């Protein structure tokens, strides 16, 4: 019962760490599923063929008007940033503020997560202009309650009848509660702004918010929501014609409230279904209502976000601006024209060469989707006629097929672009150019071709950012990509077979276009495109060069290591390198050796680098760069305190793993009252005829067989550990002396392999320690005493009796949350591993405890890293 309570306490702490994250993810998914379930009737009424027909009918002039006003609506949202800049006295330039606002708002519209996306991006972007994250956090907290006040004002307009909603509220009465709740937020907001509590917690403690600031806040929020509503009305009026402005604004406000309550990114699901219900009440056909929604998502969300992607790519590559007092900058001494001031030339080309690869990866992904949509949806009839006149039918058909294959491949390669892989960048540029040609020759779709060429040019300008040789590819991730590509292939087939059918029968030469009619052609092209994508994935898996990055050391390399250790000192873990399961990275022209092994996307270094200390900082930087070239993270396991400043200079974080028990031999003795137990054990076994001997290599085959038999009995079917622990391997055992305990009948009862410290004979460590299962109690105490006394007699000064995992971790009240959790495991984890018992056992030898740490990059998740390390140490080893 006590063990169950201990385990429950640990699991409760683990659950508290991840509960909030899980809830944030589960709620939107559950709401979207509920919306889909409730809206199945409305969704089944939608005819995609007619929906795309409505989209194609839209006049060019209307498209231009909608495009320009949607951009204006997004630009209005920058008023928030100008407002917090004025209120918090942020010294940020006008144009920089506008760029930051556009990026943060468009990403927040797409990704959402209750405003966390916009808040995080604002903190990152404003930091480039010298605004501290703490100050920006206060500004974001100040801004958060303001954003929905404009929607609250529109809610009052609905309640007083200014914006009628038709029969929407009468048909779905639960929406009335939502509208009233949003409307009551406005007086609550005003009271909160004028309260002392708000001033203390949210307003930097500078007193109540002035009425002028409250008025500006309400105005900025109202303009945002009003402009968004007008954008929606422009789209609805262009598609539906002569629709009531007031009713559309009222319906949009109700739908926006439903979207906010759903907590889904962009209100997706709840907003769309509410719009469908509202337009249905107005007698609008489902396919035309769907056309309104598609256009609104494209013009208000996707197009501004694409612009935000490009802006963010530029900002990511833009260096932090120098202070005005800096006279070293050449640009400050040059007279700039108005055009140069707008585009910051000549620095602009450098910014473009440093485009953020994350944004480029998303643009490549979108390019692939555009190619597939272009192939799956009908082209304009006059363009098809023109293409048919200029090109032959086989060329059009081949171009269509190749466009599908290239679309699939671009979607897969977008991941490689985000990882900065050089070969992915080259392949992607070739495919983008080919895709632009084929999408042009299949149906004269010059818009898609222009977009693909723009992305290709951006990749070429940013070619300096793609320096990685490869990236880790896990079988599990490959299976996910196989599944994703299969889903995309099915979506392409479904859209093409349901939307394309019937369009080409209007052509004068319809009999020649039979290959584009019906579901069969799209099933064939989907299968061919999917097969091409799977072939590419398989090539990436089989031919990936990062396999060579973690090849175990060869016998030649181990001999090189022995010669190296004759001239340079090792450490307490150096002897484990001769197990042969670790790779050796020779840095600084063979002046430093770094042993490591791969754990998924991490290169885990065992201990500290070996070599002269003056070369180690550059060696660490060199190793980190090498790992980054393969899209991996360098992690240092069992790092010692002396090297922590070197890892800190690389921006690493630390987690205490435990403590190493080091016995100072000049202070060790079995005499005295406090060592009575050790003296008693030694005397008892000596009276019983036990003998201790240290045997030097090479060992006879008979002795090795006897030691192997003891080891197998001690393991009792358990798997040997690896990486940071030695295991019974004949070649490895022959590398150092072995201590043996025999009973009075000369039978080997226990043995221990030794691990020299390679430090000029100062340190000796114990490695493997195995004993007969029927050994008497106290036998290992006797073996430890004999080993310590032997080491002392042979001139060693320190004897290492091993590590105590999680010892003294998280004891301080100000320790990290993860370390406090580790402390709970140390205190109550005896059911799985005797952490406290091991510490108490080694205490009887009165060692000095030296801490050991895990050094890891800030972007690496510690829980995930812990699982990877456990898997690495528990990896099956060859015997």
What sign does the dihedral 102-107-108-110 (CA atoms) show? positive
- For tokens 């200079």, what's the residue? 649
Q: Whose CA is closest to 362, among 439, 322, 308? A: 308
Which of 379-393, 443-457, 695-709 reaches the highest mean pLDDT?
A: 695-709
Residues β-bridged to residue 855: 636, 654
Instruction: Tell me: pLDDT of 503 over 50.
Output: no
644 and 669 in one domain? no
Asked whether residue 138 is assigned to any structural domain, the reply reads yes
Give 717's Cβ-side CA count (13 Å radius): 0
Range of the domain at 476: 355-543
- DSSP label at 568? S
- DSSP label at 610? B
Distance CA 332, CA 323 (A): 11
Q: How confident is the model at residue 442 (pLDDT cuts 50, 70, 90)?
A: low
Q: Tokens for 611, please give them.
A: 């070599």
CB atoms within 10 A of CB 549: 20
Q: β-strand 602-606 against 592-599: which pairing, if any? A: antiparallel
Higher pLDDT, 228 or 388: 228
Give 315's Cβ-side CA count (13 Å radius): 25
819 and 710 in one domain? yes
Asked whether residue 2 is assigned to any structural domain, the reply reads no
Residues β-bridged to residue 556: none
424 and 517 in one domain? yes
Q: What CATH number has the domain bearing residue 765?
A: 3.40.630.30
Asked whether residue 324 is assigned to any structural domain, the reply reads no
Q: How confident is the model at residue 332 (pLDDT cuts 50, 70, 90)?
A: very low
571 and 500 in one domain? no
Instruction: Tell me: pLDDT of 623 over 90.
Output: yes
556 and 448 in one domain? no
Asked whether residue 9 is assigned to any structural domain, the reply reads no
Is 588 in contact with 558 (CB distance < 8 Å)?
no
Asked whether residue 47 is assigned to any structural domain, the reply reads yes
Number of domains in the chain: 4
| Phi and psi angles of residue 470, each rounded to the nearest 5 degrees, phi first | -165, 180
391 and 251 in one domain? no
Q: Whose CA is closest to 722, among 815, 620, 633, 604? A: 604
Instruction: Tell me: pLDDT of 276 over 50.
Output: yes
What is the pLDDT, as a whole number, of residue 617? 94
Q: What CATH number has the domain bearing residue 615?
A: 3.40.630
Is 761 in contact with 601 (CB distance < 8 Å)?
no
Of the residues 628, 651, 674, which one is the last residue of a structural domain?
A: 651
716 and 844 in one domain? yes
Is 609 in contact with 620 (CB distance < 8 Å)?
yes
Instruction: Tell me: pLDDT of 515 over 50.
Output: no
405 and 481 in one domain? yes
Asked whether residue 749 is assigned to any structural domain, the reply reads yes
Let me know the angle formed at the C-alpha of 157 by 156 and 159, rounded to the nearest 5 degrees. Answer: 60
Output the pTM of the full model. Answer: 0.62
Q: Whose CA is closest to 416, among 352, 491, 364, 492? A: 364
* 821: three-class secondary structure by DSSP: helix
289 and 141 in one domain? yes
Q: Tokens for 414, please give them.
A: 């977008």
- 54, 56, 61, 65: CA torsion to nearest 10: 60
Asked whether residue 873 is assigned to any structural domain, the reply reads no
- For tokens 């699982």, what's the residue? 867
Convert the pLDDT of each residue in 632-670 to its tens digit: 899 999 999 999 999 999 989 888 888 899 999 988 888
Convert the pLDDT of each residue in 760-801 to its tens digit: 889 999 998 899 988 888 898 899 999 999 999 999 999 998
* 669: three-class secondary structure by DSSP: coil
Convert the pLDDT of each residue in 185-206 to its tens digit: 888 888 877 676 665 555 554 5
645 and 708 in one domain? no
Collect all residues with Cβ–Cβ distance below 8 Å to 171 and sequence separation of at least 6: 277, 281
* 175: three-class secondary structure by DSSP: helix
Convert the pLDDT of each residue in 526-567 to its tens digit: 777 777 767 766 666 555 555 567 778 888 999 999 999 999
Q: Whose CA is closest to 317, among 351, 344, 346, 287? A: 351
* 658: three-class secondary structure by DSSP: strand
Instruction: Tell me: pLDDT of 161 over 90.
Output: no
Distance CA 631, CA 641 (A): 28
448 and 392 in one domain? yes
Distance CA 694, CA 739 (A): 4
What is the pLDDT, as a whole number, of residue 384? 44
Per-residue pLDDT, averaged over 274-292, amounts to: 80
Per-residue pLDDT, averaged over 451-466, amounts to: 83
SS3 assignment for 408-445: HHHHHHHHHHHCCEHHHHHHHHHHHHHHHHHHHHHHCC
Of the residues 622, 651, 680, which one is the last residue of a structural domain?
A: 651
What is the pLDDT, as a whole number, of residue 222? 92
Per-residue pLDDT, averaged over 610-620, amounts to: 94
Q: How confident is the model at residue 479 (pLDDT cuts 50, 70, 90)?
A: confident
Of the residues 523, 543, 563, which one is the last residue of a structural domain?
A: 543
What is the pLDDT, as a whole number, of residue 179? 86
Is 273 in contact with 42 (CB distance < 8 Å)?
yes
What is the pLDDT, as a whole number, of residue 216? 84
Asked whether residue 866 is assigned to any structural domain, the reply reads no
Distance CA 369, CA 585 (A): 42
Q: Where are the alpha helices (DSSP H) in 297-329?
A: 303-317
Higher pLDDT, 2 or 605: 605
* Burial class of residue 773 (count of CB atoms within 10 Å of its CB; 0-12, 13-18, 19+): exposed
97 and 82 in one domain? yes
């Amino acid at each position: 019962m006590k063990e169950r309570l201990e385990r429950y306490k640990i699991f409760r702490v683990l659950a508290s760490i991840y509960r909030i994250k899980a809830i944030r993810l589960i709620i939107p998914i559950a709401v979207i599923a509920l919306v889909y379930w409730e809206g199945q009737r409305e969704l089944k009424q939608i005819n995609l063929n007619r929906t795309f027909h409505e989209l194609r009918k839209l006049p060019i002039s209307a498209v231009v008007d909608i495009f320009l006003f949607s951009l204006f609506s997004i630009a209005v949202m920058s008023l928030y940033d100008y407002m917090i800049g004025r209120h918090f006295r942020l010294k940020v330039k006008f144009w920089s503020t506008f760029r930051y606002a556009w990026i943060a708002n468009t990403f927040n519209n797409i990704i959402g997560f209750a405003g966390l996306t916009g808040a995080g991006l604002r903190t990152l972007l404003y930091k480039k202009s010298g605004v501290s994250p703490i100050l920006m956090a206060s500004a974001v907290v100040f801004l958060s309650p303001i954003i929905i006040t404009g929607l609250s004002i529109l809610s009052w307009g609905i309640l007083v009848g200014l914006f009628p909603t038709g029969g929407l509220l009468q048909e779905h009465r639960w929406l009335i509660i939502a509208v009233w709740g949003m409307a009551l937020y406005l007086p609550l907001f005003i009271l909160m702004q004028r309260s002392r509590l708000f001033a203390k917690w949210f307003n930097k403690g500078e007193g109540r918010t002035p009425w002028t600031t409250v008025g500006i806040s309400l105005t900025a929020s109202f303009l945002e929501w009003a402009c968004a509503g007008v954008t929606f009305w422009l789209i609805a009026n262009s598609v539906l014609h002569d629709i009531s402005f007031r009713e559309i604004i009222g319906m949009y406000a109700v739908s926006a409230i439903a979207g906010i309550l759903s907590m889904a990114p962009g209100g997706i699901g709840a907003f769309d279904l509410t719009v469908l219900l509202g337009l249905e009440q107005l007698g609008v056909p489902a396919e035309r209502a769907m056309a309104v929604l598609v256009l609104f998502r494209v013009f208000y969300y996707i197009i501004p976000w694409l612009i935000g992607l490009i802006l963010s790519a530029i900002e990511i590559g833009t260096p932090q601006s120098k202070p005005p007092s800096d006279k070293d900058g050449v640009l400050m001494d040059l007279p700039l024209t108005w055009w140069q001031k707008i585009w910051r030339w000549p620095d602009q080309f450098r910014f473009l060469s440093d485009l953020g690869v994350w944004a480029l990866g998303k643009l490549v992904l979108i390019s692939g989707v555009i190619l597939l949509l272009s192939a799956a949806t009908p082209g304009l009839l006059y363009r098809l006629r023109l293409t048919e006149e200029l090109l032959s039918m086989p060329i059009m058909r081949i171009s269509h097929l190749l466009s599908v294959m290239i679309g699939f491949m671009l979607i897969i390669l977008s991941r490689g672009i985000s990882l900065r892989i050089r070969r992915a960048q080259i392949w992607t540029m070739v495919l983008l150019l080919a895709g632009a040609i084929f999408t042009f020759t299949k149906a004269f779709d010059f818009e898609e071709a222009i977009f693909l060429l723009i992305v290709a040019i951006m990749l070429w300008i940013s070619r300096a950012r793609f320096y990685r040789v490869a990236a880790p590819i896990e079988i599990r991730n490959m299976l996910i990509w196989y599944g994703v590509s299969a889903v995309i292939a099915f979506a392409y087939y479904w859209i093409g077979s349901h939307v394309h059918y019937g369009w080409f029968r209007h052509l004068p030469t319809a009999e020649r276009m039979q290959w584009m009619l019906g579901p069969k052609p799209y099933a064939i092209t989907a299968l061919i495109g999917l097969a091409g994508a799977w072939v590419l994935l398989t090539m990436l898996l089989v031919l990936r060069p990062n396999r060579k990055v973690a090849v175990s050391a060869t016998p030649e390399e181990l001999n090189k290591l022995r010669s190296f250790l004759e001239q340079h000192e090792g450490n307490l873990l150096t002897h484990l390198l001769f197990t042969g399961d670790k790779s050796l990275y020779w840095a600084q022209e063979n002046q430093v050796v770094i042993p490591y092994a791969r754990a998924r996307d991490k290169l885990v270094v065992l201990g500290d680098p070996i070599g002269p200390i003056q070369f180690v900082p550059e060696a660490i930087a060199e190793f980190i760069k090498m790992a980054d070239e393969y899209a991996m993270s360098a992690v240092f396991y069992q790092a010692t305190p002396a090297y922590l400043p070197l890892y800190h200079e690389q921006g690493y974080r630390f987690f205490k793993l435990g403590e190493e028990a080091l016995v100072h031999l000049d202070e060790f003795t079995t005499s005295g009252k406090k060592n009575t137990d050790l003296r008693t054990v030694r005397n008892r076994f000596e009276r019983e005829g036990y003998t201790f001997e240290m045997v030097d290599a090479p060992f006879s085959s008979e002795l090795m067989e006897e030691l192997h038999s003891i080891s197998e009995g001690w393991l009792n079917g358990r798997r040997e550990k690896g990486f940071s622990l030695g295991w019974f391997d004949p070649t490895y055992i022959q590398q150092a002396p072995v201590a043996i305990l025999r009973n009075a009948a000369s039978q080997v009862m226990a043995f221990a392999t030794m691990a020299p410290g390679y430090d000029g004979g100062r340190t000796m460590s114990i490695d493997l320690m195995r004993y007969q299962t029927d050994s008497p109690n106290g036998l290992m105490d006797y073996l430890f005493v004999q080993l310590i006394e032997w080491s002392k007699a042979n001139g060693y000064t320190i004897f290492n009796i091993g590590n105590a995992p999680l010892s003294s971790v998280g004891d301080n009240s100000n320790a990290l949350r993860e370390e406090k959790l580790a402390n709970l495991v140390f205190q109550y984890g005896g059911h799985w591993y005797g952490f406290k018992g091991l510490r108490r056992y080694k205490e009887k030898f009165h060692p000095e405890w030296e801490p050991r740490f895990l050094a890891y990059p800030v972007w690496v998740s510690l829980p995930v890293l812990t699982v990877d390390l456990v898997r690495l140490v528990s990896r099956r080893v060859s015997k």
